Amino acid sequence: MNNFILFPSPWWVNLLLLVPVLLFFYWRRNKLEITTQTLILTAIFGIAFAYLESACVIYLRAATGLLPGYMQSLAEIQKQSIGVYNQLVLQRNLPMSLFEIEFGREIATMIMLIFIAAIAAKGWKERIAIFLWTFAIWDIFYYIHLYWTVRWPENFMTTDVLFLIPQPWFSQVWFPILVSSLSLIVVFISRKRI
């Protein structure tokens, strides 16, 4: 079992915890005009998008030879991946060509999440809320889908490479799950009842 690490790196990644907290205080006075239907539809998008992202990660690991058992059944991948599925190893061993593609995939991910928010909401504060909502759903379900398919992360203290932009972000899985969960709660409770 991994030891608990309180702070992600680089240091400024820790500031992400402030985003839902500060927005809660702002939205408490400036309620969001977001319907339940919009939240449901963007959540479905986030869940499906998370599956695509997790599939990309699995394909990337298979392409680089870092996914044991990938030529066999999903059950065999799950069995053989326990203890060897390490994002840090992947990041260190990723060929530059795939690193550049991964970098572009992350930019495309952010563009898609921004545009789904622009399409789903009218005002700026609602667009920010839908972006955070969809991002949080996507983030949580990314880990759920990875666990379901390859049994990774093994626990909440598993270290992950969260993003590569503008430099690699490292954290244990509990951190993005916490930030995403707080974001979901804040968006949900900050809505006007319409």
Using CA atoms, how far residue 36 sits from 2, 20, 104, in Å, is 39, 19, 33
> Mean pLDDT, consecutive 10-residue segments, the chain of 194 residues?
87 96 96 97 98 90 74 71 62 74 91 97 97 98 93 90 88 97 98 80
* 172 is a domain residue: yes
Q: Domain range holding 169?
A: 32-189
> Does a structural domain hold residue 6?
no
For the entire predicted model, the pTM comes to: 0.89
Q: How many domains are contained in the chain?
A: 1
Residue 76 lies in a domain: yes
Is 1 inside any structural domain? Answer: no
Identify the pLDDT of residue 77: 72
Question: What is the model's pLDDT at position 40?
Answer: 98
- Whether 26 maps to a domain, the answer reads no
DSSP annotation of 161: E
**Residue 16 lies inside a defined structural domain of this protein:** no
Residue 168 lies in a domain: yes
